[in-house]
Amino acid sequence: MKRIVIGICVLALLPCLGWAGELTGRDVAIKMDAVDTSLDSKRTAIMVINRKGQKLARKMESCNKKYGPDERGLIKFIEPPDVRGIMYLTWSYEDVNRDDDMWVFLPAESLVRRISGGGKKGSFMRSDFANEDIEKREVDDDEHRLLRSEEFSGVDCYVVERIAKKQKDTNYSKRVVWVRKDTWLPMKVEFYNKRGKQFKTAIYGGFKEIKGIWTFTKIIAETPRKRSKTLMQHDNVDYNIGLSDSLFEQSNLKR
């Protein structure tokens, strides 16, 4: 998945002798991409959407599996009853010239729908995440520029600007990412619209080492203009569990 790793879901620590001239923005992105050394992963998640004082809660299961440089992901909604059985399947490709595939299964209609083009810019289940946020972004999907080095919430971070090479395929003119220097995980992302205005922020937390892999377990995304905030809390995270290939086939969606 291209996960804001909407995870979508990022170990080596370099000596910090000053960032200028030592690391590039692309170097930081490569370090982030190398954090998850697993072959596959599984987790449960609670997504709580708070919009204009009204709350919606959804429970889901999320699975990912790597196929060489490519990756497939499946999200299945469990609760409440009105979304139970809805599934999102993503196939993400390292080749930046190949469009990633995304499908959604709607059990009420027994229908599998492909999500492409402008559909990926739409809201993910009425949350502050977009459909594109649940896909895995490859390093070469973006141009990267190291802006500065600074602390965020008491943690030393690199601040990297990421600009999508294919602007027509995204909501965002750019993303600015605060990356921890110790674990190469994101701490904060600012999202900018096509007019260059920041309109959304995501804050990451709940950092844990699981089976030797540093992992974030919480994301809070906020869109102030919409008076909307979404909490994504991950639980029961596990790696290298031997997930079946059949789980990530289109034919599995209607079973």
φ, ψ at 118 (rounded to 5°)? -65, -20
199 is written with which tokens? 């309109």
CA 251 to chain centre: 25
248 is written with which tokens? 């990530």
Per-residue pLDDT, 215: 98
| pLDDT, tens digit (0-9, with 9 covering 90-100), for 185-226 | 999 999 999 999 999 999 999 999 999 999 999 999 999 999
Report the C-alpha dihedral over residues 129, 135, 137, 143, rounded to 10 degrees: -50
Neighbour tally for 224: CB within 10 Å: 11
Rounded mean pLDDT, 102-127:
93
* 12 has pLDDT over 70: no
Per-residue pLDDT, 38: 98
* 137 has pLDDT over 60: yes
Which band of pLDDT confidence, cut at 50, 70 and 90, is reported for residue 111? very high
How far CA 218 is from CA of 5, 105, 113, 142, in Å, comes to 11, 26, 29, 24
Which band of pLDDT confidence, cut at 50, 70 and 90, is reported for residue 14? very low
**Residues above pLDDT 90, as percent of the chain:** 85
What lies within 8 Å, CB to CB, of 197 at 6+ separation is: none
Q: What is the mean pLDDT of the chain?
A: 91
Per-residue pLDDT, 10: 34
How far CA 201 is from CA of 163, 193, 223, in Å, comes to 16, 12, 7
Helix (H) or strand (E) holding 52: none
161 is written with which tokens? 């600007």
Helix (H, G, I), strand (E, B) or coil at 224: helix
247 is written with which tokens? 């789980």
Task: Indicate yes or no: pTM above 0.85.
Answer: yes
* 2 has pLDDT over 50: no
CATH numbers and ranges of domains, the chain: 2-10+30-240 (2.50.20.10)
| pLDDT, tens digit (0-9, with 9 covering 90-100), for 29-78 | 999 999 999 999 999 999 999 998 899 999 999 999 999 999 999 999 99
Per-residue pLDDT, 21: 54
233 is written with which tokens? 């809390």
Strand partners, 189: 177, 202
